[in-house]
Amino acid sequence: MLRHRLGIVLLTALAPAVWGSTYLVTTELLPPDRPLLAGVLRCLPAGLLLVALTRRLPRGDWWWRALVLGALNIALFQALLFVAAYRLPGGIAATVGAVQPLVTAALSAALLGERITLRTVLSGIAGVAGVSLLVLRAGARLDAVGLAAAVGSAVVMAAGLVLAKRWVSPAPVLATTGWQLTAGGLLLVPAALVVEGAPPSHLTGTNVLGYLYLSLIGAALTYVLWFRGLRALPPNSVSFLALLSPVVATALGWLVLGQDLTPLQVLGALVVLGSLVAAQRQRPRATAAAQAGPAPKPSVHENV
């Protein structure tokens, strides 16, 4: 059982680890100043691909549930992250976003009946401290709108995680992931057109390669792993894994871009890794949502 759980944790951790490469791919391969376009081309083609592969559409309540989850996990999260990134130094935005595991713990207690343990609180505080050591820089200027957007991105991601755990879909993970990516991508389209205007008339081969990576690897593959892990693990455990993203982003900046890596940053990375390992050592317990009724019968695609 422990070995099986460790395998699920490691597979789920691949998602935020890959997301940590987004900054590198965006700066090196994509057109400048087009983050919302990148969000659309990352999510919408990936969602449509997964829907086409599974040939499953939502039924009943899952039409509006997929829309809500797509808005929280994809569209609102991406849009708020974009605002925070443009109005705050990256270190401030990442540090504020690191409160997301603590928000997830609070929402899990309210909506799923999960108990907030001292280990969760201490691990969450350690995660924020580790990320701040990893990415925070002296003299960073604060901006009220940017701070609100950074907090909002953490809240909507936490809410999306908890609701995705509460609403157990009878469809396979590939299908429900495709619904969310498609809904989120469609919601981002008008925002991208209003804020950034029409897409560029010309894309280079490098741009196309970057968009393909973000869509196929950075969305289709990673979100399937993410939501598959969420079906098997408590939301608190999954949320801490998101702290891997700034660790991987910093490591890639050092390895690929030749950016400096200070002893404090190394210490911060170790603190982050320690916090997420400590969070995974909690024993999962049955949630109120899980106890509400019998689990749905698996479909023929459930193991996909």
- Residues 214-252 pLDDT 10s: 999 999 999 999 999 999 999 999 999 999 988 998 888
Domain-embedded: residue 136: yes
Asked, for residue 299, whether it belongs to a domain, the answer is no
Tokens read off for 99: 């409160």
Q: Please check whether residue 109 is in contact with residue 116, taking contact to mean a CB–CB distance below 8 angstroms.
A: yes
pLDDT of residue 303: 38
Alpha-carbon distances, residue 36 vs 160, 180, 255, 271 (angstroms) = 20, 17, 27, 32
- Euclidean distance between CA atoms 237 and 35, whole angstroms: 29
> Residue 192 in contact with residue 58, Cβ under 8 Å?
no
In a domain, 48, yes or no: yes
The residue segments making up the domain with residue 199 are 2-285
| Residue 6: band (very low, low, confident or very high) from pLDDT cuts 50, 70, 90 | confident
Mean pLDDT, residues 20-26 taken together: 86
Among candidate residues 30, 83, 85, the one with its CA nearest the CA of residue 199: 30
Please report how many Cα atoms fall inside a 13 Å half-sphere around the Cα of residue 298, on the Cβ side. Answer: 7
| pLDDT exceeds 80 at position 139 | no
Q: How confident is the model over 99-108, as a mean pLDDT?
A: 93
Number of folded domains in the chain?
1
Asked if residues 178 and 50 have their Cβ atoms less than 8 Å apart, the reply is yes
Across 33-43, average pLDDT: 89
Q: Would you say residue 53 lies in a domain?
A: yes
Distance CA 89, CA 87 (A): 7
Which ranges of 20-59 would DSSP assign to H, the alpha helix? 22-29, 35-54
- Residue at token pair 């999962």: 284
Least confident range from 1-5, 106-110, 149-153, 236-240: namely 1-5
Contact at 8 Å (CB) between 276 and 233?
no
| Alpha carbons 176 and 208: distance in angstroms, whole number | 27
Could you count the other beta carbons within 10 Å of the beta carbon of residue 3?
6
- Maximum Cα–Cα distance for the chain, whole Å? 56
Confidence of residue 135 (pLDDT cuts 50, 70, 90): confident
Round the average pLDDT of the chain to a whole number and report it. Answer: 86
Q: Looking at residue 108, what is its pLDDT?
A: 94
Helix (H) or strand (E) holding 92: helix 90-97
> With bands split at pLDDT 50, 70 and 90, how would you rate the model's confidence at 81?
confident
pLDDT in tens, 196-211: 999 888 899 999 999 9
Say which amino acid occupies 227: F
Q: Which helix (H) or strand (E) holds 208?
A: helix 205-212
- Taking a C-beta distance cutoff of 8 angstroms, is the pair 242, 100 a contact? yes
What pLDDT, on the 0 to 100 scale, is given for residue 283? 54
**Is 294 inside a domain boundary?**
no
Q: Does the structure show a pLDDT above 90 at 85?
A: no
- Tokens in use for 154? 């953490």
Range among 35-49, 71-85, 142-156, 276-290 with highest mean pLDDT value = 35-49
* 274: Cβ contacts below 8 Å, ≥ 6 apart: 126, 130
Domain-located, residue 29: yes
pLDDT in tens, 161-183: 999 999 988 899 999 999 999 99
The pLDDT value given to residue 297:
46
Provide the pLDDT confidence category of residue 89 given band limits of 50, 70 and 90: low
CB atoms within 10 A of CB 151: 17
Structure tokens at 58: 């939502």
Would residue 303 count as lying in a domain? Answer: no
- pLDDT surpassing 80 at residue 287: no
How far apart are alpha carbons 11 and 176 in whole angstroms? Answer: 18
pLDDT surpasses 80 at 286? no
With cut-offs at 50, 70 and 90, classify the pLDDT of residue 298.
Answer: very low
Residue 77 located in a structural domain? yes
% of the chain surpassing 70 pLDDT: 89
pTM of the complete model: 0.86
